[in-house]
Chains A and B, each alone.
Chain A
Amino acid sequence: MKQLLKNPLTNALGLSIFSTFYGLIFILTSGHREFIDILYYAQRGKGSSFLESWSAFLANGYQAYIAYALIAISVVVVLMLLLRRRPYDEYHTQVLTHCLAVATILTLAAIAIFYLAILSDPNGIIEKFTLFITIHWSTVVLADLVYVIVCRWR
C-alpha cells in the first residue's frame, strides 16, 4: 500500500477516475429533463429556502459549472502529479495516508448526517444527495490540490 501511495501516478489515477465519474454525472444531468422532473423542491416549491435555491440551481443545470471548475482543478493536480520527477518519500506518504484517513472519517460523518437529514424529511433526496456529492467531491479535489502544492519536491 505504501509503495502504491509513493507513486504519484496512483494519486493521479485515483483523482482522474473520481473526477471523471462525478464530472460525467454532473454534466450529463445538467438540463436533462428526466433529472429536472425528479427534483422535489424545484417542482413543488416546498422546503427550506436553501434547499429550494439549491434545487432551482440544479433545475437550471448549473451543476455543470461546478463540474467544469472541479475538472479544471483536477486537471491541474493530475498534471502536477505527472510532471513530478521523483516518487514521494516516506514523509509525504505518511501525510497522504493521514489525509486519506481524515477524508474517510469526514465522509463517514457526512453520510450519517445526510442519512439523518433524509430520515427527518425524505423529500428532495436527489437535491440532498447531490449536495453531499458536491461537498465530498470538492473536499477531495481541493485537499489533493493542497497536498500536491505542499508536498512538491522543491
Chain B
Amino acid sequence: MQNKVRELREKRGLTQKELGEYVGVSRQAINAIETGKFDPSIWLAYDLAKFFGVTIEELFLFREEDRK
C-alpha cells in the first residue's frame, strides 16, 4: 500500500529505528511499511498518523486496486 511514511519520517530527520521506537514496532516493520510490503493494522496506522499529526487517509493512499 502506497503511503507517505518515508517522506514524513525523513522530513523529521528520523531513522526507521527511531520511528519504530516511537510507535512500538521494529525497524523491519517500518521498512516493510515504507516499501509497501506490509499493511499495518488499523492501530499501528492510527499511531503513525497520530505521531505525524495527520489523518490515516493522508498518510496511507487508499486505492481500490490495493484492496485485498
- A-side interface residues toward B, CB under 8 Å? 89-92, 94, 150-151, 153-154
Chain B residues with CB under 8 Å of A91's CB are 25-26, 28-29, 32-33, 38, 40
Residue total for B at the interface (Cβ-Cβ under 8 A): 13
Give complex CA distance A154, B28 in Å: 9
What are 10 A-to-B residue pairs whose CB atoms are below 8 Å? A89-B24, A90-B29, A90-B44, A91-B25, A91-B32, A91-B33, A91-B40, A151-B26, A151-B28, A153-B26
A-B contact count (CB 8 A): 27
Closest to B20 in A: A89
Closest Cβ of chain B: how far from A135's Cβ, in Å?
29
19 new A-B contacts, CB < 8 A, other than A91-B28, A91-B29, A151-B26, are: A89-B24, A89-B25, A89-B26, A89-B29, A90-B25, A90-B29, A90-B40, A90-B44, A91-B26, A91-B32, A91-B40, A92-B26, A92-B28, A92-B29, A94-B38, A151-B28, A153-B26, A154-B17, A154-B27
Closest Cβ of chain A: how far from B24's Cβ, in Å?
7
Give complex CA distance A91, B38 in Å: 7
